[in-house]
Structure 1
Amino acid sequence: MGGGRSRAALVKRAHESIAKGSKSFTVASWLFDKQTRDRSHLLYAWCRRCDDIADGQDHGGTLKLDASSAEDRVRAIRILTHRALDGQPTADIAFDALGQVASECGLTREMADDVIDGFALDAEGWRPRTEGDLMRYCYHVAGAVGVMMAKVMGVPGDATETLDRACDLGLAFQLNNIARDISEDDAAGRCYIPEEWLAEYDIPPGELMKPAYRKQLVKIAQRLVRMAERHEAAARVGAAHLKFRQRWAVLAAANIYGAIGHEVVSQAELAWDHRVHTSAFDKLGHVAAAFKEAMAGSWEPQEMPEWTRGRLMVMARMAQPVADIPLTPLRDEDVRRKED
């Protein structure tokens, strides 16, 4: 595993990747113990690299990928991922990092494929028609990552309740991100707002960011953030099953990403004139609040989310292509009646 590279080299590059790619997750991850932190960074490096290849970027900048199509790039991601999980070198340090952390934590091909299926949806130019479609997408690109991260933290595969809550945290993160990035996604030709919602708020297709519809857009953002809050509340309960430093880090991340959604709502019609973010000072406040909650415990939510991991996994499996029917001839012994 690790493509023949030393673990120290993989971890070093993973640290560099997360420091460049996500200030919010960097802050939360440094609350982990060293082993969990290193493993979480190895996993992040793969997620970041997959995202960059899928979008033709390098941590947000231009990435030269010749004339490859989006479908070809996703196919390459899947091939490299499977190769890494099989313990083979990939010539790409981020995929070798996945092979390393997968061997240590029991990450499976099915877990990785669930994440890659989200990139495949983007490559197809897919857009959600219903709320269920939106949540299935959120499961692929974030909920499934939450499950992998729980495994990195040592959660056993049969701890279904804890894995469900880890998925909830990923869903909350993604819903907040979608609310924040509506303008950026629109500029890139993408829209993650369900078509049924747009019809409900009388927003014509392709006109989401026009000034005339800003008030309706604020209501949509509020709806996304309310959904995120329900999943976040459920995730906080699951954190109780983690070790203290892991629990502290998870709650800090929940606070930081939750604050992004709240800031979008508070800025209302001005929320998409610039990219909403939390300051370093605010992040420290969220870390301190998470410490107190990690010590005292989290409140049970009054209402659990409608969209559960089990339900979303069923939707994801049902959306996959129908498996080919085996063409191997069946043996006919004892089927035909023997002649006397």
Structure 2
Amino acid sequence: MSGPAELDAAGVHDPALRAAYAACRELNAVHGRTYFLATRLLPPERRPAIHALYGFARHADEIVDDLGDGRPVADRAAELEALSGQLETALGGGPATHPVLAAVADTALRYGIDRRHFADFLASMRMDTHVTGYPTYDDLARYVHGSAAVIGLQVLPVLGTVVPRAEAEPPAAALGVAFQLTNFLRDVGEDLDRGRVYLPADELAAFGVDRELLVWCRRTRRPDPRVRRALAHLVARTHGVYRRAQPGIAMLEPVSRACVASAFTLYRGILDEVRDAGYHVLHRRVSVPNRRRAAVALSGLVRVLGARTRRGNGR
């Protein structure tokens, strides 16, 4: 089902709001291939909300990550503060100054998403304007709570649960964290180019790794056994976060499980690609092969059809 048909199913009829949701959908389609593919497995009426949440997160992230525009850090910080104020106004029913704000405010109202999740997210985005490394995993966890755990909490009302929401929140937050940690391991080279390291410095040091060695491996494209061992350790830790998140899939409404299960499988598969590359990933960005993505999507589609059939039969 196409974007306009999804908006019809979701009951979004105002032309300006439809355009806002369409802009978010385009951001998801262009920048979030795995998320977009997984979202296609949701019932059509729920997809625009996921696009809106992704679109807002992407919009904020681009403020702090688009380093090619030459803006000073102070300007980025000021832009984030302005975005925070504009979001607060939109969430309160006021005018939205950007399409993603209109869409995400509408989604938050429709699904009763706690405003604190947006505040926590923007707090982590502010960290990206001045924090370039994390001494310990606990330090990193404070950043990841706002940048990732709250994303899981934001989407949970859209997905729906078959248990009290409070019971489903810990695994939902853990899944957001697992996805983010996977991104850090996949994108460590690109993050270095931005002057950031999203890996705990003390745990790297335990394997004889520091920022200078990572930069050297990135520049020379030469592997180093110390880096390999450190990344293997961090991959193993991330697999543990996936294990904590996995029980949450069964807590979701049946029509939402295939979406999350597919994203779970594809993102966890990135860790396998990192391993299969011998952890020599600082000079390139690994990804799940298209044939694997297609197989997961097909499997998800089968589960979706089964869930919708059962729902239609009242089971």
Equivalent runs, 1:190-201 vs 2, <5 Å = 190-201=196-207
Q: CA deviation at 1:218?
A: 1.8
Residue 75 (structure 2) aligns with: 69
| Amino acid aligned to 2:101 | F
Pick one of 132, 136, 150 that aligns with 1:130. Answer: 136
Q: In 1, Cα distance between the equivalents of 2:300 and 2:15?
A: 36
Q: 1:289 to 1:237 in 2, by over 3 A?
A: farther
Do 2:223 and 2:280's aligned partners in 1 also have CA atoms closer than 8 Å? no
Q: Which protein has the larger Cα radius of gyration, Structure 1 or Structure 2?
A: 1
Q: CA deviation at 1:194?
A: 1.3
Q: In 2, Cα distance between the equivalents of 1:110 and 1:127?
A: 25
Residue 271 (structure 2) aligns with: 261
Q: 1:283 to 1:205 in 2, by over 3 A?
A: closer
Q: CA deviation at 1:271?
A: 2.1
Pick one of 141, 150, 174 that aligns with 2:180. Answer: 174
The superposition leaves residues 38-60 of structure 1 with CA deviations (integer Å, 9 ceiling, x where unpaired) of 11111111111111122247xxx
Residue 214 (structure 2) aligns with: 208
Bigger shift: 176-185 or 203-212? Answer: 203-212
Do 1:218 and 1:265's aligned partners in 2 also have CA atoms closer than 8 Å? no
Q: 1:157 to 1:94 in 2, by over 3 A?
A: farther
| Amino acid aligned to 1:30 | R
Q: In 2, Cα distance between the equivalents of 1:213 and 1:201?
A: 14
Residue 286 (structure 2) aligns with: 276
SS of equivalent residue, structure 2 residue 214: coil
Q: CA deviation at 1:16?
A: 1.1
**Are residue 35 (structure 1) and residue 45 (structure 2) matched?**
yes
Residue 7 (structure 2) aligns with: none
Do 1:115 and 1:144's aligned partners in 2 also have CA atoms closer than 8 Å? yes
Equivalent runs, 1:244-255 vs 2, <5 Å = 244-255=254-265
Q: In 1, Cα distance between the equivalents of 2:255 and 2:46?
A: 10
Q: CA deviation at 1:66?
A: 8.2
CA-atom RMSD in angstroms: 2.7
TM-score, normalization by structure 1: 0.77
| Amino acid aligned to 1:238 | G
**Are residue 183 (structure 1) and residue 182 (structure 2) matched?**
no
Q: In 1, Cα distance between the equivalents of 2:70 and 2:156?
A: 33
TM-score, normalization by structure 2: 0.83
Q: In 2, Cα distance between the equivalents of 1:232 and 1:32?
A: 21
SS of equivalent residue, structure 1 residue 209: helix
Q: In 2, Cα distance between the equivalents of 1:238 and 1:294?
A: 17
Q: In 2, Cα distance between the equivalents of 1:226 and 1:294?
A: 31
Equivalent runs, 1:313-332 vs 2, <5 Å = none
Do 1:176 and 1:224's aligned partners in 2 also have CA atoms closer than 8 Å? no
Pick one of 17, 25, 36 that aligns with 1:15. Answer: 25
The superposition leaves residues 78-108 of structure 1 with CA deviations (integer Å, 9 ceiling, x where unpaired) of 1122122111112200111111101101122
**Are residue 92 (structure 1) and residue 98 (structure 2) matched?**
yes
Q: In 2, Cα distance between the equivalents of 1:129 and 1:76?
A: 30
Q: 1:171 to 1:164 in 2, by over 3 A?
A: same
Q: In 2, Cα distance between the equivalents of 1:224 and 1:293?
A: 32
Q: In 1, Cα distance between the equivalents of 2:117 and 2:179?
A: 18
| Amino acid aligned to 2:37 | V
The superposition leaves residues 129-176 of structure 1 with CA deviations (integer Å, 9 ceiling, x where unpaired) of 111112222221111101101122234996222111111111110111
Greater helix share, structure number: 2
Q: In 2, Cα distance between the equivalents of 1:293 and 1:221?
A: 34
Structure 2: which 5+ residue stretches go unaligned?
1-11, 307-315
SS of equivalent residue, structure 2 residue 134: coil
Residue 326 (structure 1) aligns with: none
Aligned length: 290
The superposition leaves residues 230-260 of structure 1 with CA deviations (integer Å, 9 ceiling, x where unpaired) of 2222222111121223100000000111111
Q: In 2, Cα distance between the equivalents of 1:134 and 1:111?
A: 18
Q: CA deviation at 1:284?
A: 1.6
SS of equivalent residue, structure 1 residue 123: coil
Identity %: 23
Q: In 1, Cα distance between the equivalents of 2:156 and 2:248?
A: 10
Q: In 2, Cα distance between the equivalents of 1:124 and 1:66?
A: 11
Q: In 2, Cα distance between the equivalents of 1:116 and 1:210?
A: 32
